[in-house]
Each structure stands twice: as C-alpha cells, then as structure tokens.
Amino acid sequence: MEKLKPRTLSGFMELLPAPQTQMERMMAILRETYELYGFTPLDTPLLESAEILLAKGGGESEKQIYRFQKGDSDLALRFDLTVPLAKYVALHAGELSFPFRRYQIGKVYRGERAQRGRFREFYQADIDIIGDGKLDILNEAEIPSIIYTIFRRLGLTRFVIRVNNRKLLNGFYALLGLTEKSGDIMRTVDKLDKIGADKVRVILLEDCGLAQEQADEILRFIAIKGTNAEVLEKLADWQGKNEVFDLGLSELTAVVKYLGAFGVPEENFAVDLTIARGLDYYTGTVYETTLLDHPEIGSVCSGGRYDSLAEYYTDRQLPGVGISIGLTRLFYVLGEQGMLNPNLPTAPADCLLLPMTEDVSAAVRLATELRKAGIRTQIYSEQKKFKAKMSYADKLGIPYVVFLGEDEIAQGVCSVKNLRTGEQVSLPAEGAAKLIREGISAMSDDTVIIEK
C-alpha cells in the first residue's frame, strides 16, 4: 500500500510523552491554584458562529481568524477565551451568581505567519472575576496575587508582576490637556522598553503632535522609579488636580497595599507607569509579568480591569478583571531556555511489574493490589529478553521494577528493585506499596521549572 508521510501542521505543538507530562503538571498546578482561590472551571466550544466571535469587529483577530462555511453556517475557531466568556456570561447571566469567578484553560487559534516559537494553536489559561454592575477593588489585587502563587509553585522566583492603572494615566493626560490623544500616547509609551525613551519622544512629537513641554512632562512621569512606596509618594505631586487621576491613584494605592497583605513580596511586584496594555478595553488596573532573566520574551502573563465585558451582546453592565497566561508559548520558551526541570519524574508508572511465570494471574492480582494502594502500576507481559524489559523501564524513567516468580508467589512476597539505587528487597504486596509510595513521594517535591 502507498504510504502517506505522517506530519503535524506547522505552528501546532505536539509533544512527546515526557514533555507532555511536564506540560500536564503545569496545567494541574494552574487548575489547583485557581480552585484554591474559588474559581470555577468553564469549558466553552472551540467553534462559534463567526458573527458572535467577531461582534467587536476589525483588528488583528479578524485577519488571523480560522473562519469557514459548513452548510449554511459561518463558523470560526475562537481566537481567545475572552470573547467566548463574554458570550457565555451574556447568555447565561440569569443563571449565574455574581461576582462570577471562572477559569478556563483551553486552546485558541490564530493563523499567524508560522515562525519559530509562534503558534497557531495554543493554550491560554485565563481567570476572570465578573461583577454585576460593580466590582470591588480588592479583586484587582487578588488577581496578580494568584499569578504570584502559581509562578512560585511552578518553581519561579525571578519574575516581576508590573502593575499600573489606566485611570491614573487618563487623569494625567487630562491634566496635560491631552485626553483626545491619550490612546495614541499610551500605545506609544507602551513601546518604551522596546524602542527607548528617545524614540518614544520622537513619536510623541512627530506622530502624536505633542508640544515639547507635553512630551517632556510625559517622559518625566514615566521615568518615575523607586520602591512602590516611593513611586506612590511621587505620584502624590499631581494629586488634587483631576478626579480621574485621584481615583486611579487611590486604586493603585489599594492594590499595592492588598498585594502586600496577600503575601506577595515587593521583589515580585512593581508599580510601573510605562505599561498601559495596548487595548482600549482596559479601564483600571493593568498587569504585565516579566521574567527577570529573560526580558526579551516580553510579558508572559497580562491582563487588567475592564468596565464592559459583554457590551456587544447585552445592556447589562458587567465589569471585570482578568489575566491570561499564554501557556504554550511559555512552555516553549522555558524549554528553549533549559528551564524545564529534567529531574521532574515524567514516567507513566511508578513501577513496572515483570511476571516471571507463564500464567500471569498472580501478577495481575498483585498489580490490582498495588493499584488499590495508589501505586501507578504497569504489567509488562510481552515475550522479551530480561534485558529488554529492564531497558524499557529505564527508557521511560520508571523508578521501580517488581519481579514476581514462582519462589515469590510461594512465599507470598514480591521483589522490588529501586532502579536509581539498585537496591532490591523482597516483601509482601502491602510493604511493596508502602516502599514505592515513600520513594515516589520523596521524588515529587521537584518543581516543573528550575532557575539557573
């Protein structure tokens, strides 16, 4: 028969078992942590009506979207998890309790130009808290504290969650008489890290049409540095002149205070007046997260506060705050940087059980006992040489091999060999389970990510 060369589409991540297990571990940590903070899991369709997904219209999303006809239907694959959330909340608002806290870890699709490290199918891990009409400021501090907890659990310490407030920026631009231009200015200032202050100044003067003094004032403002307390103190200079600015400053002050109460140390979060998030969507606190040793990656986790989640679908005022981790890209970058812990156990089983008798019923019963005791057990019953069997365990990184021959069966024991130490002991099923459980437990303290 003519064979078709097997291939996976370019821009679509498909992992081998060991890295897949690392990825699963990351996702499990995300799920557990989100749930610890009272978020409920959500799962919306990958496919939606194109009209629904593109309600907001225009922009990058429309160009990159996977859209097609099926029968009479104009369909599209979701390009983020926010639009499906907006649809979900608008559709089911009467059946939900607000604040509605949900997490969703799911694949999204963007037909970007394929290049190294860019994905067309990738996981986003989103959390959002949606209020009905109002939403307390505390939520804007809790969201980055969750990210802090997750990153620490993954094994990262060298990261900074950068926080700013759009009201503060809008108020500041209003003070300068630049309200009309604040969108353009924020998009320009957002590029500071990439292009530097001089080029930002040029764009502000030439493209945005600002006066010298206005540009200077903006550059002075965004150059404010120091501890969070120092930055907040310097911002007080502008206080009392504009209501929106004052509101933004009080929100930012509250977020800084509560981030501390949530146990996030100063070294992991910083007020940073240069970030704005390029989207008009955000209206309050905004976040970006950078890895200190890899600033070139850009933000690995971003989000913020918005006033209208679902204005395209409903009149109901649904303010919220959310943040998104680009999981596939993060995982790829961590791999590229050698930051995925090679010692993290990725074996599919805790022990490989080798029956040494023709009738394997006794081995089957032993496997059942071990599994009942929570030991992930694989019976290896293929007719292979002993060496091949041991090499199989070794290749998969299975830490224990259990032998069961006539002698062991007669004595009511099995032989357990620790492949890392070479140590071998004979003991009854219960003891074997205990030995393996303790050994595995000692190994699984390792984190997914290691910093060098």
Residues 159-178 that bind its own copies (CB under 8 A): none
The distance of closest approach from Cβ of residue 115 to its own copies in the complex, given in angstroms and rounded to an integer, is 15
Residue keyed to tokens 């679902």: 310
Q: Does 342 bind its own copies (CB under 8 A)?
A: no
214-221: long-range pairs with CB below 8 Å, 24+: 214/176, 214/177, 214/178, 217/176, 218/176, 218/185, 218/189, 221/172, 221/273
The distance of closest approach from Cβ of residue 25 to its own copies in the complex, given in angstroms and rounded to an integer, is 10
Q: Does 74 bind its own copies (CB under 8 A)?
A: no
Among 59, 60, 63, 68, binds its own copies (CB under 8 A): 68
Which range, of 176-184, 191-199, 371-379, 399-407, touches its own copies by CB under 8 A?
371-379
Q: Does 232 bind its own copies (CB under 8 A)?
A: no
* Residue pair 184/280 in contact by the 8 Å Cβ criterion: no
Distance from C-alpha of 96 to C-alpha of 92, rounded to nearest angstrom: 6
How does 288-302 read in b/e, with b if 16+ C-beta sit within 10 Å?
Answer: bbbbeebeebbbbbb
Which range, of 64-72, 240-248, 276-284, 443-451, touches its own copies by CB under 8 A?
64-72
Q: Does 39 bind its own copies (CB under 8 A)?
A: yes
* Total chain residues near its own copies (CB under 8 A): 102
The distance of closest approach from Cβ of residue 429 to its own copies in the complex, given in angstroms and rounded to an integer, is 13
Burial class (CB in 10 A: 0-12, 13-18, 19+), 32: exposed
Name which of residues 106 to 125 contact its own copies (CB under 8 A).
Answer: 107, 109, 111, 121
* Residue pair 328/120 in contact by the 8 Å Cβ criterion: no
Among 382, 385, 387, 452, binds its own copies (CB under 8 A): 382
Residues in CB range of 393: below 8 A, 6 or more apart? 352, 380, 401, 419
3 state DSSP class of 436? helix
Distance from C-alpha of 320 to C-alpha of 177, rounded to nearest angstrom: 29
Name which of residues 244 to 303 contact its own copies (CB under 8 A).
Answer: 257-258, 261-263
* Omega cis (within 30) before 319: no
- 354: enclosing H helix or E strand: strand 351-355
Among 92, 199, 225, 420, binds its own copies (CB under 8 A): 92
User: How many C-beta atoms lie closer than 10 Å to residue 280's C-beta?
Assistant: 12
Among 82, 124, 139, 324, binds its own copies (CB under 8 A): 139
Residue keyed to tokens 């060369």: 5
Instruction: State how far the alpha carbon of 284 is from the alpha carbons of 32, 113, 164, 213, in Å.
Output: 28, 33, 8, 27
Beta carbon nearer to its own copies, 209 or 263: 263
Among 14, 198, 206, 296, binds its own copies (CB under 8 A): 14
The distance of closest approach from Cβ of residue 95 to its own copies in the complex, given in angstroms and rounded to an integer, is 6
Which range, of 8-16, 156-164, 187-195, 402-410, touches its own copies by CB under 8 A?
8-16
Name which of residues 308 to 327 contact its own copies (CB under 8 A).
Answer: 310-315
Q: Does 96 bind its own copies (CB under 8 A)?
A: yes
* Residue pair 310/86 in contact by the 8 Å Cβ criterion: yes
The distance of closest approach from Cβ of residue 193 to its own copies in the complex, given in angstroms and rounded to an integer, is 31
Beta carbon nearer to its own copies, 245 or 403: 403
Total residue length of the chain: 452
Among 61, 62, 80, 138, binds its own copies (CB under 8 A): 138
Beta carbon nearer to its own copies, 255 or 300: 255
Q: Does 17 bind its own copies (CB under 8 A)?
A: yes
